[in-house]
Structure 1
Amino acid sequence: MPAHPRPNGAGDAAVPDPSRLPDPRTMRVDPAAIPGLRRAFGNALTKLDKQIELAITDIRIKPWAGDPVSAEAAQQFNQRSVEAGDSALAALQGYQRQLKSAMDALQQVDEQYQVIEGDNTTLLRRQGGC
């Protein structure tokens, strides 16, 4: 990977050319690793689904002392935990969507790989290679 000297001229170390770095939105996966990745992502999603369900049903609190201070504290806790757009629940749900998207992508890649492998096997048999 080509490197460029540091812009400030500090030290002899070089940094990678950013235009040559892999796209952070993509992932290269060995086809043999796909089933294990799908299991790992599925396990993570199962655990996450349970936590989200608990957050939706059990995390809200009520004013414990029945006074204005506990009412305000409960309101702020509930807002920050489950109601606001940047709440903990919203973050968990965003992570959930990402996991589902990754699992869907792995499923699609696995299906494409299986089709290609089947085509390659058929081609080799026709050519007398298997």
Structure 2
Amino acid sequence: MPQRTTTPDPAAIASGGFRVDPAAIPGLRKVFTTALVKLDKQIEMAVSDVRIRPWAGDPVSQQAATDFNDHTLGVDSALDALQAYQRQLKGALDALTQVELGYHAVEQDNTTLIQQGGC
């Protein structure tokens, strides 16, 4: 039998949402979790290992260190972008978890209805 495809809900797409096959959620959560673990390590390393100190103790090296640290760790920096991406990944993972919990709740409700002869 050919597999049926469904047309995505335009309202869900317009609002930034998407449909997820319940069977795909554990795999998606694993992929997002793996990406988040890798990103967390990179952010931790950036925070602890990237900052530089003025190497010559003079005003020029002080300014260079300040500029470098601001560019890599300050507002609108590479670290700032990584942390924004980290928040997005966490949000997506949280959303997948909520969707999965919702699917399980609906399945449990349906099972209970069937067992009670409600369908």
Q: TM-score range by the shorter chain?
A: 0.7 to 0.9
2:90 counterpart residue number: 100
What TM-score does the superposition give when structure 1 sets the normalisation length? 0.73
Residue 59 of structure 1: which of 47, 50, 67 is its match? 50
What TM-score does the superposition give when structure 2 sets the normalisation length? 0.79
Separation of aligned partners in 2, 1:35 and 1:53: 27
Provide the alpha-carbon RMSD of the alignment.
Answer: 2.3
Indicate the structure with greater helix content.
2
More contact order relative to length (CA 8 Å, sep ≥ 6): 2
- Gapped runs of 5+ residues in structure 1? 1-18
Indicate the structure with greater strand content.
1
Identity of aligned residues (%): 58
Residue 23 of structure 1: how far off its partner (Å): 1.8
Separation of aligned partners in 2, 1:122 and 1:45: 36
Paired residue total: 110
2:105 counterpart residue number: 115
Separation of aligned partners in 2, 1:20 and 1:121: 30
